[in-house]
Structure 1
Amino acid sequence: MKPPMLLFWIFAVPVHTFVLQPSVNVTVLRNVSVEGDLWAEQRLDQLMEALNTGKEKRSEEKATVQGVDEETDTVHSKRTEEHDIKKTESEKHTKGHTESDVIKKEVKEKEDQQGQNLSDAFLAKPVLTAWNTTYLQEVEGEEHLSPTVNQYTTPPAMATAFQPVLHLLKESVTLLPSKAPPSTFLAKLPKKAAGAKLKDNTTLKAKKKKSIKGKVKTTPKVLKKAKKAKKLKRERKLKPTTPSYFPYFEDHYCPSECSCYGRVVQCSDKDLGKIPYGIPFNSRYILLMNNHIDSIQLNLLSEYDSMEFLVLSNNRLRDASIEGSFEGTQSLKRLYVERNLLQSIPTDLPVTLEELRLDGNQISVMSDAAFGRCPGLLILSLSNNSLGNKSSTIPPGVLLPLGKLRTLTLSYNQLSSVPLQLPLSLQELYLRGNRIQSLQGDMFWGVAELQVLDLSANRLTNKGLGKAALLNASNLESLNLEGNSLKQVPHNLPWTIKTLNLEGNLISSITKDAFISLPQLEHLGLARNKITKVALGAFRVLPLLHQLDMSHNALQQVPRQLPLWLHSATFANNKIHAIPRDAFCWGRGNESPLSRLVKVHLEYNMIDLGHLDTLAFRCLRGFQVVQFY
């Protein structure tokens, strides 16, 4: 019984099924006898000849599938996120199954035509035993294949006639790369079939590494840069759409016509006919003075959410060309539209506006609704306009909506009277160069915060400055009455005044009680009058007086008993020929306290230095204090 059994095991060698693992893309054939190799090659040749016709049909389909595979791999290499890779693999899985089914069906039909002869032949011969081998080595983002044996073999089993043949047909047999031993062979799965068999993270990671092989190393710096680029792309998609001619420029961008310093855009003196395109929307200060701009593009300024300061001075803007231009601006605080061709105050001023300068225009009308939209205005300047022209006046209370107004400039207009019912918050009022002849008591309805009042270069007389003229200006500190028609020092001035300018009037004399109601006075200007006489001790009633200017008058001697606390006294350009002994130094007996005078100007007078009384300077700190020439 033993010889038959021995013969049986000799011819019926166990059939090892040739199987490739799902996660493996390299198959190495090892431990195969020479006789087995020759037998396998004969069977393959016979089968390839029998299926020659079927291969021609399948070649077209495989070419199409291969093109799709290559395109899919290209797209796959550009994607870096894992969920995109999974999506691609899922598509490849479905297509891989389809291809396998088509190939299997065609091969099965050919097998049926060949008949049972092939089946018997395969049953009589041993089937090749395959070793599954993979080795994945990752070095700096690259993939290397090595023929290291996994020491895993399929258990011996009796295979059917067509199972090993089908498996070999679905695989392209190629030589191992140059790194592998020349005696080994590599069976590579089609990409679709391999994608269909991916089941673990190892193969997924291998394919991902292969897609970026030889391109860019995946380092933390590269990943951080990729994330930043993706974030910027997402932010740009979320940005609101802007006009095509005004793209969103980066912070460092600057129009060719301008010069930029941080967020300050300087476009002045460039002969521009319009606001240049391309000014960054994040600009804070935009300077466009001294150009030829005659209009502002509609809805342009509303795009600049960060703009705080806009200068359009010395251009050619008119009322119609700027109508609605300032509406919608969100951060504008300072607006300069000086020296243009405006005839009225814009009515679409932003609520955020704090300073408005419209000097040097042709404005003659101030409507009640002009400032209703900007109650936070602090500074308003309308000098060198035509307000008050043709006997028209500013309507009473037109400025009352400006409850926070601090500075109002109406200089060099044609006003015949001071505007009435001004805001009580007003601290500085400039009315120089008008036609004002008198001040009315209802200039303020209540106690005002006014500290500075400039009425210079007007037509004021002593009669126009009555008792009630500055009744409510109880906080006034500086009063400028230069260049009027006053014949004497005004009475009934607020006692809080520290600076009083009476230069350029018609005053001819100073009485003893002229300044008795001004105990806080520090600076007094009486230059360019017609003063010939000053009462004895007229300035002694001013305990805080520091500066006195009486130049360009008709004085014949230095006033007597000047305050010892005086710092500077100017008497230049008079007709002085004598300096009394008690002019600078006076006191009980012959002893006089030291004077605080630092400088005394006596230039351009008629003083004879050879006949000076030296005792007149006994309390001074040196002769260098007095300037004779």
Structure 2
Amino acid sequence: MRVFLLLCLLLIGNATPYQQVNIMDALKKYDIMMAESSDDSDEDNEDDEKDYDDDDDKDENCPVGCHCSPRVMQCSDQGLISVPEKIPEETQMLELQNNDITEIKEDDLKGLNRLYALVLINNKISKIHPKAFQRNTDHLRLLYLSYNLLLEIPANLPRNLLELRLHENRISRIQTNAFNGLRNLHVLELGANPLANSGIELGAFNGALTLYVGMAEAKLTAVPKDLPSSITELNLDYNKISKVETEDLIRYKTLQRLRLGFNQIKFVENGSFVSIPNIREIHLENNRLKKVPPGLSSLRNLRGIYLHGNKISKVGVNDFCPTQLNVKKDLYTGISLFANPVKYLDIQPATFRCVTTRRGVQLGNFRKRK
């Protein structure tokens, strides 16, 4: 069951970060996830078999306008300006998205000792009390705060969080020790915030471990160098990064997927990818590269490299594949080079000798913009 829970969370982490959470569609899967918590509870498992229907709305403890099911309370699209006062103590999933809540007060979550998921997407929250998450949040694993008005990372975040989503707020600064103690994170989403490199204070990620970090659609001009060393996926799409240097990735030795698409990258320094030997997928599409980045042929686990929409005019026979036949390398499943000014007839067939099939290479036609 623990393995299943991890897989569910990783699937959610790979989903679009700003996608609205549909609680009712997730209830069945959520029930399976929550079955793991039965080891710490004396409650009967009979509730797990109950159907979620409109009759549950008759619960006298359910706030007006909300939908209450066993362990789940939905109050989306109700025009709420604050967190409801009467929330059943057994609530494990609290969904308050698409309201007008402006603040999370100190006692808003008081008494919710079993709370597992808190969804506050698309509100007007600009202030969260420093002690709001200090009480009774030992079981809180999923905290969704995307599409709000936060200016900085909330203080004293629950230590056991698995997912923290802060996509599209107004965060321009990540303070020192902002994520201290968060050693179980699978997903940390910070995309679409006005965050520049100078806004990431030294030690901002001290004591934090996470698998995925998303900082797309920000104002970064370089790859951040002080992110958790545990990351396996880094999303930096749609920034203003102009180059990749050898020191940029040296900290991220476990990285498996790197997204640098839609930046302004003109140069990748030789040896930049040496420190990420486990990398399986690199996105460099829609940049300003004039040649294939060096060092790709030495990455034995690399299976996808996306270079379309650049200014590459020449492709060498050894740009992608090892020169020695006895070197073990995973075969490519995808190499994209379309929308580049390269003359495809000049590319030697042996260039793609380590690709699974012909469909794994996408060349297409280059058309000059009018």
Instruction: Please report the TM-score for the alignment, with normalisation by the length of structure 2.
Output: 0.78
Give the 3-state SS of the residue equivalent to 1:285 in structure 2: coil
CA distance in 2: counterparts of 1:561 and 1:410, whole angstroms? 39
CA distance in 2: counterparts of 1:512 and 1:468, whole angstroms? 21
CA distance in 1: counterparts of 2:339 and 2:163, whole angstroms? 37
Cα deviation, residue 342, structure 1? 0.7
- The aligned amino acid for 2:317 is R
Q: Does 1:558 align with 2:292?
A: yes
Question: Are the counterparts in 2 of residues 564 and 584 from structure 1 also a CA contact under 8 Å?
Answer: no
Give the corresponding residue for 1:410.
145
CA distance in 1: counterparts of 2:159 and 2:313, whole angstroms? 50
Cα deviation, residue 621, structure 1? 4.8
Q: Does 1:628 align with 2:369?
A: no
Question: Are the counterparts in 2 of residues 461 and 486 from structure 1 also a CA contact under 8 Å?
Answer: yes
Which structure has more relative contact order (CA 8 Å, sep 6+)? It is 2
Q: Does 1:541 align with 2:279?
A: no
What does 1:192-231 correspond to in 2, within 5 Å?
Answer: none
Question: For this pair of structures, how many residues does the alignment match?
Answer: 314
CA distance in 1: counterparts of 2:73 and 2:357, whole angstroms? 54
Quick check: which one's helix share is greater?
Answer: 1
- The aligned amino acid for 1:627 is Q
CA distance in 1: counterparts of 2:128 and 2:110, whole angstroms? 16
What does 1:549-588 correspond to in 2, within 5 Å?
Answer: 549-562=283-296, 563-587=299-323
CA distance in 2: counterparts of 1:457 and 1:582, whole angstroms? 37
- The aligned amino acid for 2:278 is L
Cα deviation, residue 361, structure 1? 0.4
Give the corresponding residue for 1:379.
117
Question: Are the counterparts in 1 of residues 316 and 347 from structure 2 also a CA contact under 8 Å?
Answer: no
CA distance in 1: counterparts of 2:362 and 2:141, whole angstroms? 42
CA distance in 2: counterparts of 1:430 and 1:335, whole angstroms? 20
Q: Aligned match of 1:302 in 60, 65, 79? A: 60
Cα deviation, residue 614, structure 1? 4.0
Cα deviation, residue 622, structure 1? 5.3
Question: Are the counterparts in 1 of residues 125 and 148 from structure 2 also a CA contact under 8 Å?
Answer: yes
- The aligned amino acid for 1:610 is L
Bigger-Rg structure (1/2): 1
Question: Are the counterparts in 1 of residues 255 and 278 from structure 2 also a CA contact under 8 Å?
Answer: yes
What does 1:85-100 correspond to in 2, within 5 Å?
Answer: none
Q: Does 1:438 align with 2:173?
A: yes
Cα deviation, residue 302, structure 1? 2.9
Question: Are the counterparts in 2 of residues 444 and 472 from structure 1 also a CA contact under 8 Å?
Answer: yes
Q: Deviations over 1:520-541 (max 9, x none)?
A: 1001100000011111232232
Cα deviation, residue 332, structure 1? 3.2
Give the corresponding residue for 2:345.
610
C-alpha distance 613-365 of structure 1, shift in aligned 2 (>3 A): same
C-alpha distance 375-445 of structure 1, shift in aligned 2 (>3 A): farther
Cα deviation, residue 619, structure 1? 4.2
- Structure 2: which 5+ runs fail to align? 1-27, 29-48, 365-370
Q: Does 1:506 align with 2:240?
A: yes
CA distance in 2: counterparts of 1:513 and 1:445, whole angstroms? 24
Cα deviation, residue 616, structure 1? 3.0
Cα deviation, residue 343, structure 1? 0.7
Cα deviation, residue 571, structure 1? 0.9
C-alpha distance 458-515 of structure 1, shift in aligned 2 (>3 A): same
Question: Are the counterparts in 2 of residues 587 and 593 from structure 1 also a CA contact under 8 Å?
Answer: no
Q: Does 1:482 align with 2:216?
A: yes
CA distance in 2: counterparts of 1:554 and 1:619, whole angstroms? 26
Question: Are the counterparts in 2 of residues 561 and 586 from structure 1 also a CA contact under 8 Å?
Answer: no
Cα deviation, residue 604, structure 1? 1.3
CA distance in 2: counterparts of 1:558 and 1:586, whole angstroms? 15
Cα deviation, residue 365, structure 1? 2.1
- Structure 1: which 5+ runs fail to align? 1-263, 265-281, 289-295, 304-309, 311-318
Q: Does 1:285 align with 2:43?
A: no
Question: Are the counterparts in 2 of residues 595 and 621 from structure 1 also a CA contact under 8 Å?
Answer: no
Q: Deviations over 1:60-102 (max 9, x none)?
A: xxxxxxxxxxxxxxxxxxxxxxxxxxxxxxxxxxxxxxxxxxx
C-alpha distance 287-511 of structure 1, shift in aligned 2 (>3 A): farther
State percent identity of aligned pairs: 28
CA distance in 1: counterparts of 2:174 and 2:93, whole angstroms? 27
Give the 3-state SS of the residue equivalent to 2:104 in structure 1: coil
CA distance in 2: counterparts of 1:593 and 1:363, whole angstroms? 56
Cα deviation, residue 596, structure 1? 2.0
Give the corresponding residue for 2:79.
341
Cα deviation, residue 511, structure 1? 0.6
Give the corresponding residue for 1:362.
100
Question: Are the counterparts in 2 of residues 556 and 577 from structure 1 also a CA contact under 8 Å?
Answer: yes
Give the corresponding residue for 1:129.
none
- The aligned amino acid for 1:410 is L
C-alpha distance 445-413 of structure 1, shift in aligned 2 (>3 A): same
Question: Are the counterparts in 1 of residues 213 and 235 from structure 2 also a CA contact under 8 Å?
Answer: yes
CA distance in 2: counterparts of 1:489 and 1:370, whole angstroms? 38
Give the corresponding residue for 2:367.
none
Give the 3-state SS of the residue equivalent to 1:335 in structure 2: strand
Give the 3-state SS of the residue equivalent to 1:441 in structure 2: coil
Give the 3-state SS of the residue equivalent to 1:380 in structure 2: strand
Question: Are the counterparts in 2 of residues 420 and 442 from structure 1 also a CA contact under 8 Å?
Answer: no
C-alpha distance 447-386 of structure 1, shift in aligned 2 (>3 A): closer
Question: Are the counterparts in 1 of residues 96 and 121 from structure 2 also a CA contact under 8 Å?
Answer: yes
What does 1:85-484 correspond to in 2, within 5 Å?
Answer: 284-287=51-54, 300-302=58-60, 332-388=70-126, 393-401=127-135, 402-444=137-179, 446-473=181-208, 475-484=209-218
Question: Are the counterparts in 1 of residues 190 and 215 from structure 2 also a CA contact under 8 Å?
Answer: yes
